[in-house]
Amino acid sequence: MTDARQAGSARAVHPAERLARAAALICAAGTAQVLPLGAAAEVTDVGGGGFEIVEQVHVAAAPAAVYAAVIAPARWWDSQHTFSGSAANLTLSAKAGGCWCETLANGGSALHLTVVQVVPGKSLRLRGALGPLQGMAVEGAMTFSLQSAGSGTDLKLSYVVGGYAKDGFEGISKAVDRVLSEQVARLQKLAETGTADSPGH
């Protein structure tokens, strides 16, 4: 949230509004994604009842290290895509029934996803609606799958969303794909280098 002491500063943009704007921009201009070498990201299916997104990347780290990174979203999720403005407020309890939650100001909180299956070092499945999807009549299933490949790991993230959307899913699916591809790139960087941020951040 923009500091009230900063006179004349621009109005703070809520994460939900930011994602909605991204959807509009992508639909209008076909914004290109910048992905790590060997990464694949796409909306594999979209229709009147929902959409599916798949992000895939090879990570130069062992499955155990990649899994350890996956369950620490505070270290790789971009703060720009949080309600509080800081990824440090994110927590994930990696057990069935566990919460991917966010602490908000003044005692507030947000539940982003709920863990439904955990296979340490191999997979993590969660259910829930991210960002602006929280305010829609939809449900989502997100699955992280890890496969040993050579000296590294093939990481796949799938997010399947179904339900009702007044304006359809075409635009929002592209926006969600863009956001998730960015997060997977940050997750990959964290697992490989120990930090998801570029120098100076």
- What pLDDT is attached to residue 2? 36
Compute the chain's Rg from CA coordinates. Answer: 17
**Residue 113 falls within a domain, yes or no?**
yes
Distance between CA atoms of residues 119 and 142, nearest Å: 14
- First CA to last CA distance, the chain: 19
Distance between CA atoms of residues 44 and 180, nearest Å: 14
**Residue 171 falls within a domain, yes or no?**
yes
**Residue 176 falls within a domain, yes or no?**
yes
**Residue 33 falls within a domain, yes or no?**
no
**Residue 5 falls within a domain, yes or no?**
no
pLDDT tens for the chain, residues 1 to 201:
333 333 333 344 444 444 444 433 333 333 334 444 446 668 889 999 999 999 999 999 999 999 999 999 999 999 999 999 999 999 999 999 999 999 999 999 999 999 999 999 999 999 999 988 999 999 999 999 999 999 999 999 999 999 999 999 999 999 999 999 999 999 999 999 999 987 655
CATH number for the domain harbouring residue 177: 3.30.530.20
Count of domains observed in the chain: 1
- What pLDDT is attached to residue 29? 31
**Residue 200 falls within a domain, yes or no?**
no
DSSP code, position 179 = H
**Residue 80 falls within a domain, yes or no?**
yes
- What pLDDT is attached to residue 41? 64
At 143, phi and psi to the nearest 5? -130, 125
**Residue 20 falls within a domain, yes or no?**
no
Domain limits at 46? 38-193
Distance between CA atoms of residues 152 and 72, nearest Å: 19
